Every structure is written in structure tokens, then in C-alpha cells.
Structure 1
Amino acid sequence: MILDAKRSYSRIIILVLLLTVVVSSSTRILVHAAVKVPDNIRVAFFINLGAGKYQSLTSFATLQSTTGLKLVWRDPQVSIPIGSVPAGQGVRFAMDGYRALVLETADFNAANTVLKKIQASSSAASVTQLWKSGKAVYQVTEGTYSSAAGAASAQTKWTNAGVAAGIQSLLSARVAGPWAVEAGPYASAADAAAAADKIGNSGLDAFVALKPREGSMGYYVRIGQEKDSTTLPALQQAATAAGGLNVRVPGATEPYVLVKNDLTYNGAVNKPISLYAIPSGAGAVLRADPEGTGGIQLIERSKRTYRGSMEMSVLNQSLAVVNEVNYEQYLYSVVGAEVGSKWPLEAQKAQAVAARTYAIFSGVGYQIANVVDTTLSQAYYGIAYENPNAIEGVNQTTGEVLTMDGKPINAIFSANAGGITADNNLEIWGGDNSFLATSVPSPDEGPQAGLLDWYYVALPSGQSGYIRSDLVTNSDQVHISGARYLKVNAEGAAIRSRPQIISSVEPVARVGNGTLIIELNKVPEYTDYSWVEASMKPNDLLVSLNKRAKTPIAGPLLTLEVSSRGPSGRVTEIKANGVAVNVGSGDNLRGALNGLKSTLFSIEETGRYSIMNGTGLLRELPKQSGAVQVMGSNGATRAISEGNLYIMDGNGQLRAATTSPGFIISGKGYGHGVGMSQWGAKGLADQGYDYQYILKYYYKNVLIEKDA
């Protein structure tokens, strides 16, 4: 009995050990490390980093919230509440710079008419209401220029354009600038507003201004919108005579913010909203926080609504708008925008970890922000792009980051690798490959699921194009070339320039029911996985190439060919007219060729072929110019004058060609192809792999570490 008990106990131990091994092989293994995920991330919507660097510019930022907004002044010393904005009401922000003052009138309708004329070609126009000489007047201005000279050029432009012609203006058109004198302080905002109206009654431009004073908010009046300081002494005397309190000339670097009545956004004389104008050099920051749980809508960013706070400041003589938001909530929108809402949860989780890692690796990459809201960083489109699946993927991986040697990696990803990932060092940008899976197969075929193939066909008219496979049947007839005849089974069937239906692009032709057409090729429908670009014109390609080429290509563009490929098959070099084109890094080829989806492509030169004449001499087109002639069955010859012709290639295949240079580019994938493929992650998740496997498939030698 004792021996049996020992055997049973041994079996239990062995069973426990086996279960431990099984459980360990399937349980998430996370390392808790010193990698810190910050509480918040700063996302720039509009920012100017200077010439040759990132620039996303706006003259105004218009905010509103369904629950209202709290406004706060922030600078390195203080943070002071400055007011609130009721629910559903807008508030605007701008830089207090130089502007073209086009019109001042007591007629709002006239001002609005001039505004709309300017807005036809500029997004920087506004109408401001102020009180002068006992009545409301409306100033129409355009621009926020960094210099008086820039505003003067604009003023001349609008005057010459006659935008205010026939309208009686209360003053001559001029340059308005940020130079002013200051009165105050006043006891309250209401007192400052009353003082501004009083000073305005003397005919001066007067606005309420805010600035910190002994740890709280001070209320002042700024008088004048001058283009330089030369007029300030006289303006100081006039403002004092008009009843201004303690009128002085403020220092050029003193912080302040102007408060104006803006009529641009609502477009109605009885619906002014506050516009806060921030000076260019004082370092002031205004923050808007939502009251309650409502988000903040940013009108100038496609009216999208975002979580967190908005910060407005001036950087490099331009208005900067930055969203400060909780890190994980930022990822709710990023994951929702980057991958499909119905994709498997494991793909959502893989995207969440990659996106979190990429953002942390970015550091403060944009001077006053960590990232931007575009795909230059990661797509971030606000609350509307969040979905339960994305939120769950983020929440289940909270704080998890990909690291190598204890540091976050640059976890770059692309939409679709086209079946194989890129070699960053040899094919894309160059640099470290140690944490990237290079040239590994990627199950990216997902975009093709459920889609029909298309046929590339020749029409009786001589035209060529693509027709969807369900619009034709096999005719059981064969062309003299050996190619198959297809019979059209629909009336008015569309022949398109590429294998895709685009409602805004007219078909190449329409053919009737029963028409026989010749099959040249069969291709998948145009998607992010497989694509064909319509025949590209040589002149368009030449212009696009010369924008990127370090040495300009002498035209005309006769030939364009792939001359080198990397380990994954991506194009690393092309030749134009037989000369290698240097566009810098390999990924630049996408932009250089009119914005291709990827560099995993081939080029068909429709105007390049060799012809042997009756005497056996070989002629190469387009190298050797001149008309192409054909001989009919009766022995008569004629010149091919139209653009299209059909020839047999060396393999006996019928091929569509052109009498002049033309280029059809086809390829696979969407994006640079480096790191994780988003469609590949979905493919692996569909096969049952978890997010850790997916991440370590696309990123090598990494750990998945959790925020300690």
C-alpha cells in the first residue's frame, strides 16, 4: 500500500510538471522593466518646425465642445483660469501678427461680402467687430504674416483685385500689426471691456487684453494695430486723452493675449464669438479643457472631435495647435484608424503594442509635441475612429512595449507588405535591421478576399482596357494569334483603364452584349495587395522624376526600366533613357513615380519593342524613331498612325503596344513594407496566432515589456 501510494504521488508530480510546461508554452510571458509609458502624449495638428522641416499651417483654430470648455493661461511660471465657453459655442485662436486690413465699415453685410470674396482664395480672412465713435464697425482682414512687408504685399494684392471696390470704407486699406500701447490694469474683464469701448469712441482701435499679474489674471486694454513702433508715442497721447488708465508702451517681449469679437465663423452680426490672439514672441500658451466628459471639436481638422486638452501657442511665427491626451486613449483612435474594426482581437492587440512602442520611440520628435496626427507618425483621427474592438486591443495590452537592450524599438509598420517584408538596409531607408524581420513571407492577401478577377482585353476598335470577369463568358473561339475570344454578356459593359471601378473616372469604352473581345491577360482587382496603374504619360513621369532626381533627366522620356532589385524583390534602382536615376533612399521611388503604392513593382514599356523587317534588319523602338508600317495579307503596306497596335512577343503571346512611349506599372503591397504588415497581422490572427507571436514574427530579437 505504501509503495502504491508513492507511485501515485510520483504520477501526480509528473502530471503537474507536464501541465506546467503546457501552460507555460501558451501563457503570455511579459517582462516588467524600467520602460516607462508616460501618462499623456502630445500630438501636433498644426505646427511649423521651419523651412525644409515639418510644416502644417493654419491661421485659425476654432474649438467647441458639447459640454463646454474651460480656458487656461499657461506659461513657465503660472497656470491661470481665464474663462469658459458655453456648450456648443465656438471659440477661436490666432496669432497676433501682421495682417492686411482690407476694409472697415459700419455695414456688416458689406463686410461679409468682402470676406467671402477673399475666402475664395484664402483661408486666413476674418471679420472682427469693435466699437468706434459710438457705433459698431467691422474690420475685414486677411492673413497672419510674420512681417509687415508680407502683409503689405497682400494688401496690394487685394486692392488690385478690387475685393472691396464700390464699398465705402471708414479708413484707407493698410497694414495692421501687433504694435500697440496698453492701458490698465482694470479690476475685471467687464471693466476692461467698458474701457475699450470708451477709448474706441475716440476713433481708436481698442481691444481687451489679458496678462498675468501677481499670480492672477490681469485685465488690460491694448490700443492700436500698428505695423511698427514709430507711431506709438502719438498713440499713447491719444489713448491717454481718451481716458485710458496708466497708458504705457509695453515691452516687445511682454506676454499678453488679445480678446476680439469674431464674426467669421458664425457669419451673423448677432453671434460673435471670442477670438484669442497670441503674440509671436512672448511664450504664452492657452489651453482648452472640456467640461465634463465631452471631447473637443477642432473645426480646421475636418471637424473631428478629440479627447484631452488643446493647447494653442506660437512657434516660428505660426499658430501651433497641440492635443495633450492620455496615452492609452490616444491609442484607441490610432488603432481604430490604422486597422479594420472587424479584424481579429489579436491583430488589434498587435497593432496597439506596435503603435504604443512607435510613439514612445518618437520622444519629443516635433519640438513641442511627440508626434503629429498624420501617417507621417500614425493616423490619429479622433473619437469617431474609435471602436470597441480597438479599445479592447489597447486595454488588454496596456503599458506593453517592444524593446531591445532595454529600450523601445522604432516599431514601424505598413499597411500591406505585398506578400513579403522589405529589407530596410538595402531596399528602403537604410540603417539598422537587427530588430526587423527581413524578407519574410507575409499573408497579405486579405484585401482580395471575395473580389472578382479582371481581364485585360483588346476591343474591335483597337482600344485596350480591363473588364470585370463576370461581364464576359468564354466564346469557345480563338483569335488567329492563338489568344482566346471572350463574349460580353451585358449591354453597355464598361472597359476601364485599370482593374477597378472608380465612379468619377469615365470608362475607356462601353461595349454591347455579344461583342467579341480578345483576352490579353487576367489580373486580380485593384487593391492594396495587387494593383495596376493605368498607362502613365511620359511627360507626367518625367516631371515627377525630376522633382526627386538628384541629377535632372534630359527629356523626352523614351524608356523607363527596373535595373536593380533588393532581397525581397523591391525595386532599388530604375533607369530612364538608359541612365540610372538617383532619388536617394529606395522608398523615394514611390513618390518619384507619381506616388506608387509600394516599390514592389514592375514596369511594362508599351512603346518599347524590336521589329525585324523583310530584309532581316532589326529596328528598336523607341530608340530608332519613325513610322511603324505593317503588311496586310494582300501584300500592301500601311503606316500605323493610331496610338495602339498588337504584336506577338518572343513567347508567342499577344501583347498590347503603343506607337509612342508609354508605361504601365503594376505591383503588390501598400507602404514601405518594413516591420509589421497590418494585413499580414490580420492574416496571422485569422490563422490562430496570438499577438505576441505576430509581433515577434515581424520584429526580431525583441522583448515585450510591460510598464513597471
Structure 2
Amino acid sequence: MVDSVKEKPRHNRLLLLVLLAAMTAAFVSPLAARAAVKVPDTIRVGFFLNLGANKYQSITPTATLSSEGGMKLSWLDANTSLPVSSVPAGQTVRFAMDGYRALVAETASLDTAMAVLKKLQASSNAGTITQLSKSGKVVYQVTEGAYATAAGASAAVTKWSNAGAASGVQPLQSAKVLGPWAVESGPYGSLAEARAAGEQLGNAGLETFVAYKPVAGVAQYVVRIGQEKDAASLAALRQSAAAAGGANVRVPEAGEQYAALRTDVTSGSAAATLYAIPAGGSAALRAEPAGAEGILLAERSKRTYRGSMEISVLNQSLAVVNEVDFEQYLYSVVGVEVGASWPPEAQKAQAVAARTYALFAGTGYQIANVVDTTLSQAYYGIGSENANSTAGVQATAGEVLTYDGKVINAVFSSNAGGITADNNAEIWGGDNAYYSAGANSPDEGPQKGKLDWHYVALESGEAGYIRSDLVADSGQVHVSGAKILKVTTEGAAVRENPVISTKVEPIARVGVGTTLVELDRVPEYSDYSWIEPSMTPEQLLTALNKRAKTPITGPLLTLEVTKRGPSGRVTEIKANGVVVNVGVGDNLRGALGGLKSTLFEIEETGRFTVQGEERTREIPAQGGSLQVVGADGRTQSLKGSNLYIMDGSGQLRAATAVPGFVISGNGNGHGVGMSQWGARGLAEQGYDYEYILKYYYKNATIEKDAK
């Protein structure tokens, strides 16, 4: 019996091993058959792109690059990649579209040219100064614009002439339109030969620029003569150039590619070479760092970036794209998106979410995968990197979130306000398959260490907020039962909402001993809890009608929340009793003046019910003046906009005699997917990044890049 008893478990163990092997095989087979996720080596980030009307547009007339380690420039097109030049360490190089410009002034004095430029820069970022040699003299052309048409540049000429931009200048050339039409001399054996030929032609009074030009995969240098607005004058210009000694002078065929080299002195200091590429071209110039240092892009807040910069023309506008190692791109993104001091597991969670989001984007911006703003992910270059963000990226290298074998759209926001949003019902609409809608989120972090504020009534009748460390309980109470506070600091500020702002003057400053009636006690303004300043009906009506599909007829008397989604976010509002249609739920933020989130309340300070002995009156639905009976029995009309009333529960409430609106809420952002502050909260509670990600992206799988 004993032997038989021992033998039976052995048989069961063998059977169990067989079953486990079969289950493992069944589990492994589908994964082996499915194509693994592939994270590319590089990503393309758009800084300046014009994708067309009603699409992404970030436009610059010029791009200015430099690198502490120097740069190498190359020419790229569908068939070739050719070296162009080297840029010494610290030296600037500029790029522009060779389109139409308004010649505002031409002068022999750089100081005069700089004075004209300063006038242009007061209202335009497209002013430049080009230095060239004509008839043996150095002249300076002050131009404005990068226009796609001659008509646009002509209108600019009229504008600047009427504005007197070149007043007091003795012009060498009257204001006119400069364009990309030119004749061509050459080719020449070297850049030096082309420059010598250009100087010879310039001495004959012609406007000349050396140009880099690839022909059949070979780099050539030519001289472009003229800056004409159309082809009408090219035949005569060709004759003049030939008579001045130009070699093989010709009119280029439409679509021929080139990069004209101009001497740019817009900075007024050291001259820089400006490469002007044709508006209709399909080629690009690429700048790569010659050393370990990054490339500084002056037009992007003088930030420095890893990788290369690619300059081209897209939709008649200059395009600037940064091609950078995918993981190094994330060093900056994570450094911007979360604080350097945040826990390592929060850094890792952000790294995986950011990597996934960028991979999901594909080529969402035509010639770029993403852009550098929060429309994609904030990306500020090397200056935003830190050791912790880099470590978080490196620790999760290649890891992305998938659902049903596909990379998910791993959106995230700053702060969910305590609960994540339901995308389908509340934000953009669509599948919620991998978003954890309605998940409790530990987002209180921004509130930690902040003082509360008191909402108070002043003797003047005004109401505002004062920080709790500036007052003390007087031990007295108002006739309404409200607490009376006493100011303890001289010159204490009473503000329009509970936050210190140097940009907004306080409602009032009060001295030591001043008494204030407490109406409420609230948290300080933060990404977790916020109260916006009171808005007038006119301000809100303007904001609403910018987004409303059907304009709202004013005046705005009432504005109320009429529907909420599963997480409590507002999904519908009514203005004057009519539903306001602004499209998807998240659009309500912009429609109400740029709210932090849709998890909000609207207090209508001018809406209340007056209960009399014989009738009830709804304000503001029923007009007319408000009358009060004083202690002496006399009746008088209320004057001024502020008044204080007792609500149904006996609480003293600040109200207004005219419609007014105070919006308060929680959270910052759309609330879908991962809350960054929530990720920090979970990390501080001891959870790792995998738990955090699966908490916010339910049913998602973390997969490793198949490299």
C-alpha cells in the first residue's frame, strides 16, 4: 500500500509537467508568430512646419544654427548626399527660403541699415540685412518677409513705405520687390573661382550671389545674377551678364535645385553665410555636429539639441526638423515632463509612456514624427536633460506599451485631479480599451507644503483671498455667524484668486489689525486644486463664441453645468438655458477661457433667489433693481456690484448684483491615461513603474524592442 501510495503522486507530477510544457508551447507560439515591436533608431522632431490651413503651423522666415564644436553641412535629395561645407566652432550659419521679399532700403551704411531694421523688428520677425558688392562698393539691403508670391511682397513694400520705415535714408535703390528669378553663370571649378567671377560681375553693377548646385550627383558652384520678381527681365539681364564677362550665361530651367549663398549681417556683428533654397525645391540641407556638442537653434529660444538639423521648404515655408537618436530624444522629453527630483520609478513610467506615445505618432507631421511642443511632447533639448531622467530612459530602453499586439496611444496629462477621465464619454470620444477610466489617482502632490487661503469680505464691500499666515482668528463672529479674522502683517495683499502673482495687482492691501469676514477657506491655487478669477459675462461670451458651433446671443445672464461624465468631468454646459456645442468634451477647456481641466464647477455669483412674503424672484431671470430694508426701516436700492447674502443653509455668501462667474476645479490636463503627478504619488508609495503603467493603462502589455 505504501509503495502504491508513493507511486501515484509521481505519476501525477509527470502528467503535470507534460501539461505545463503543452501550455507553455501554446503560450509561446502566438508570440513567436506575431511581429515584435520595433523601435526605430532615430526620431524626427519638427520645430518649424507649415502643414497648411487649419493644420499645424509653426513658421519662421530664417533658421540660425551654431555649435561649439563646429558643424558639417551636406546636401540631401532623392538621389544624392553631398558635402557642402564645414562651419567652424562657434560660428553662425543661417537658412532661408529663396522666395519673395520686400526691399525696404539699400544703403552704403551698416549703421543706417541697422536703424531701418530696428523699425521693422518692432512688428516683424522677418527683417534681414544682406551685404553685397555692387560697382566696387559694399552695400546693405534691408529686406522684410519670406513671401510665397510677388503680390504678398508688393503689399509689404507698400506697407513699409507708408509706415516710413526708411525715412531719412538716402536710398541707393528705391523700395521694390525682390524675387527668386535670376540668370546663371558657370559652372566654376571651385567656390573661390565662383566668388571671383561674382565679384567681376558685381563690379559691372549687377547683383550677384554664389550658389551651390548639385548636377548629376556632382557638386558645382555657379553665380546667380539678379533678384527679379518675374521672368520678364531675364533676357535683358542675360545679355548684361554676358557682356560683363559671365561664362555660359543661361536662364535656369524651372525646378533646378540650388542653394544661394548670401552674406547676412542682420546681427550687426560678424557676418554669417545664409543659404537660400528655392521655394519649390524638394531637397534639404543638413547640419550635423562635428564634435560631441549639440546644435543651437536661435529661433527656438536658443536651445541646444542633439542630432542633426534638416532644413527644407514645405508648403512655401521654411521647415526645420531635428533628427535625433530616439532614446536621446527621450532624455529631454522626460526631463521636461517630470521633475528631476521625482522618484526613479516615476521617471521610468514616464519614459515608457513617452516612448510609446512617440512611436504611435508615426509620421503625423508629414516630414516629422512629432513636434517639440505639448501638441506632441515637450522637447527642449540638452538643457532639459538631467541624470535622473536619463537613468529612467536607459533603465527602460526599448520598452513600449501594447494592446492586442499593437503600440497604444499612450497619452498622459499633468494631473488627473484625483480621478482619471473616461475618454469615450468625457474627452475626445473613442475606444477605452486600454485606458483606466475612473481610476483613483493620488494627485495631491502639488498641494503639499502650500498654505490655505481665506476668502474674505473687506469693509469696502469687495471680496478676495488672503493667505492664511497673514491673518489670525480674532475670536469674534459676524452677525451672520461667520468668523472674523484680524490681519497680522502690514500691507498684506488681498488677491483675486488664491495665488501670488507678480503680474496681477492685488485687489487691496490691508494693514495690521484690519478685520475681515471669512466667507470660505480654500487650498492655494495649484495643478491639483484651482480657482480662477471671476469672469465677466462679456469675457465669457467672447471666449464661448470662439468655439461654439452656433453663436450664443448675448448678453450672457446664466452659465451652468448640465451634464457630467463618469469621472465627474463636465460634458455639457448651458448658456442662457441653451446647450453650448463646442464639439468634443475637452474643447470646453478652451471655450471657457483656457481652464486647466474639465473637472470643474461654475459659481454664478449674480444668480440667486429672493424669497419674499408674497412672491419669489429669480435673479437675473427677472430684472429690476434690488431693494433692501435697513435697520431704521427705510428701503433703499443696492448700489455697487457686490453684496452678501445668506444661502439656504445659513452660510454667508458673496454675490454680485450683476451676472458674474467664478470657475473652480481640480487637475491639469485632459485626464486620460497616466497622470504624471499620480505616477509620482504611486512611486512614493513604493510601487514600481510596471505597476504604475498597468494601473493607468489597463490591459496593456509592456514589450521590449525586438533589436
Residue aligning to 2:645: 647
Per-residue Cα deviation, 1:55-100 (whole angstroms, up to 9, x for no partner) = 0000000001111111011001111111011111110000000000
Partners of 2:181 and 2:522 in 1: CA distance = 65
Q: Deviations over 1:514-566 (max 9, x none)?
A: 12111111110000000000101110110010000000000111110001000
2:371 maps to: 372
- The 5 A counterparts of 1:56-455 are 56-265=58-267, 267-268=268-269, 271-455=270-454
Q: Distance in 2 between matches of 1:487 and 1:113?
A: 57
Of 212-221 and 422-431, deviating more is: 212-221
Superimposed CA distance per residue, residues 78-132 of structure 1 (whole angstroms, 9 cap, x where no aligned partner): 1111101111111000000000011111111111111111111100000000110
Encode CA deviations 1:297-350: one digit per residue, 9 max, x unaligned: 000000000000000000000000000000000000000000010000000000
Q: Which moved more, 1:321-330 or 1:473-482?
A: 473-482
**Secondary structure of residue in 2 paired with 1:38:** coil
TM-score by length of 2: 0.95
Structure-2 separation of matches of 1:338 and 1:461: 44
Amino acid at match of 2:295: I
The match for 1:22 is none
Give the CA RMSD over aligned residues: 1.4
Read off the aligned partner of 1:43 and give its amino acid letter: V
| Counterpart for residue 663 of structure 1 | 661
Cα distance per residue 1:587-607 (max 9 Å; x no partner): 000000000000000000000
Superposed CA deviations along residues 600-639 of structure 1, whole A, max 9, x for unmatched, are: 00000000011123x4221111111221111111101111
Q: CA deviation at 1:471?
A: 1.1
CA distance in 2, matches of 1:442, 1:496: 30
- Regions of 4+ moved over 4 Å: none
Q: In the alignment, which residue of structure 2 is the partner of 1:624?
A: 622
Distance apart, 1:282 and its partner CA: 2.0
State how 1:2-41 maps to structure 2 within 5 Å.
34-41=36-43
CA distance in 2, matches of 1:573, 1:612: 30
Select which of 681, 687, 690 maps to 1:689.
687
Alignment partner of 2:532: what SS? strand
Q: Deviations over 1:9-59 (max 9, x none)?
A: x9xx9xxx9xxxxxxxxxxxxx89611000000000000000110000000
For 1:545 and 1:655, how far apart are their aligned partners in 2? 27
**Aligned equivalents of 2:195, 2:452: Cα separation in 1:** 69
Structure 2 counterpart of 1:707: 705
Helix, strand or coil for the counterpart of 2:234?
A: helix
Mapped to 2, the partners of 1:252 and 1:102 lie a distance apart of: 28
Q: Does 1:678 align with 2:680?
A: no
Give per-residue Cα distances to partners, 1:187-224, cap 9 Å, x unaligned: 11111111111111111110000111342310001111
1:383-432 superposed Cα distances (whole Å, 9 cap, x missing partner): 01000000000000000010012110000000000000000000000001
CA distance in 2, matches of 1:574, 1:198: 72
Task: Name the CA distance, whole Å, in 1 between partners of 2:281 and 2:475.
Answer: 80
Looking at structure 2, the residues matched to 491 and 145 of structure 1 have their Cα atoms a distance apart, in angstroms, of 58
Q: What letter matches 2:180 in structure 1?
A: P
Cα distance in 1, alignment partners of residues 245 and 36 from structure 2: 62
Q: Structure 2 matches for 1:486-497, cutoff 5 A? A: 486-497=485-496
Residue 473 of structure 2 aligns with an amino acid whose one-letter code is N
SS of the residue corresponding to residue 230 of structure 1 reads coil
State the Cα distance separating 1:279 from its structure 2 match: 0.4
Separation (CA, whole Å) in 2 of partners of 1:194 and 1:449: 69
CA distance in 2, matches of 1:399, 1:431: 28
Q: How does 1:553-632 map to 2 (within 5 A)?
A: 553-613=552-612, 615-632=613-630
User: Which whole-Å CA distance do the structure 2 matches of 1:555 and 1:159 have between them?
Assistant: 42
Q: Match for 1:468: what amino acid?
A: R
- SS of the aligned residue for 1:172 comes to coil
Structure 2 distance, partners of 1:619, 1:607, is 13
Counterpart residue type for residue 240 of structure 1? A
Counterpart of 1:24?
none
Residues in 1 aligned to 2:239 and 2:651: alpha-carbon distance in whole angstroms = 90
Q: Paired residue for 2:635?
A: 637
Give the share of equivalent positions with the same residue, in percent.
68
Q: How many Å separate the matches in 2 of 1:178 and 1:648?
A: 73
Q: Which residue of 1 aligns with 2:51?
A: 49
- The code of the aligned residue for 2:232 comes to T
Task: Quote the Cα distance in structure 2 between the aligned partners of 1:35 and 1:182.
Answer: 51
Aligned to 2:537: 538
How many residues were matched structurally? 679
Distance in 2 (CA, whole Å) between partners of 1:388 and 1:457 is 45
Instruction: Tell me the distance in 2 between the aligned counterparts of 1:701 and 1:550.
Output: 37
Provide the rounded CA distance (Å) in 2 between the counterparts of 1:467 and 1:108: 55
Deviations, residues 651-698 of structure 1 (Å, cap 9, x unaligned): 111000001010000000000000000000000000000000000000
The letter of the residue matching 1:277 is: A
Aligned residue type for 1:404:
Y
- Counterpart in the other structure of 2:519: 520
3-state SS of 1:431 partner: coil
Distance between the aligned counterparts of 2:125 and 2:435, measured in 1? 43
The equivalent residue for 1:25 is none
Q: What SS is found at the alignment partner of 1:535?
A: coil
Post-superposition Cα deviations, 1:490-520, rounded to whole Å, max 9, x if no partner, equal 1111111000001121111111111211111
What CA distance in whole angstroms lies between the structure 2 residues aligned with 1:195 and 1:122? 35
Paired residue type of 1:407: K
Distance 2:260 2:467 in 1: 61
SS in 1 for 2:73: strand
Shift of residue 287, structure 1, vs aligned partner: 0.3
Q: What is the identity, as a one-letter code, of the residue corresponding to 2:395? A: Q
Structure 2 counterpart SS, 1:534 = coil
Provide the TM-score with structure 1 as the length reference: 0.95
